[in-house]
Structure 1
Amino acid sequence: MNISQIRTITVFVSDQDKAKDFYVDVLGFAVRTDLQAGDNRWLEVAPAESGTAIVLHRPFPGASAGSSSGVILSTADLDADVAAIRAAGGSVDGPEDLPWGRQATVKDPDGNAFVLSTASQAVSGK
């Protein structure tokens, strides 16, 4: 196999401009690509140091905005990030201490859920 990385993850959103504002202004992501091709817009955002980007896309036929969950975002300072997200108007559940580390959940305006996590030493192997 020659697969070397996950390049993008697609998250379906109902309003790409509103989603862009959330991911840039609340989560602090950078816009990597914002291209319009006819009725289609390819909008990629990512944390500054990440190799993987999130594509904020209108739902494909049969899909719906707000249906994504399970993506885990790593942070070195969960409490500071939770405070910053709340100060920017974002909603966060947690943080909470779990056997594998501390985590909190943040949702974008469509309800797509992301877990903010700091892994415990037992899980991360450090």
Structure 2
Amino acid sequence: MAPRDARCASCGRPRTHVLLVCAEPCLELRHGPGPPLRIGRDPDWAPRTAAAFADWDKVSRRHASITVEPDGTVWVEEPATGSRNGTFLNGARIAPGVRTPVRDSDRLRLGLRISFAVRVHGPGPGTG
């Protein structure tokens, strides 16, 4: 068997990470192992996404977070208090406060309109 290419086909980066791509609003987020990537409109809680979602009232101030573990597994979690319009993985609503596994090629949706294509790169299961 040929050795696996160590670089991500989507972005060319060599390390474990998740790539989230949203068409509307136009947003691309890369995130690796470490503290969670928080998604929402609160600039203190979600500094990387607050500006992009400032005018999207269907995205909660503290909507969801994405965690990438060093082994390449990726998790999404909605705060225990929930979000007003829900977080969905492949069309199924995730339960607030429950870490839910995310795999390569999944669709992550915030409310009814914000949808991310998910690309996972790393050594973990379900990665590309």
Q: TM-score, normalised by structure 2?
A: 0.30
Q: TM-score, normalised by structure 1?
A: 0.30
More helix by share: 1
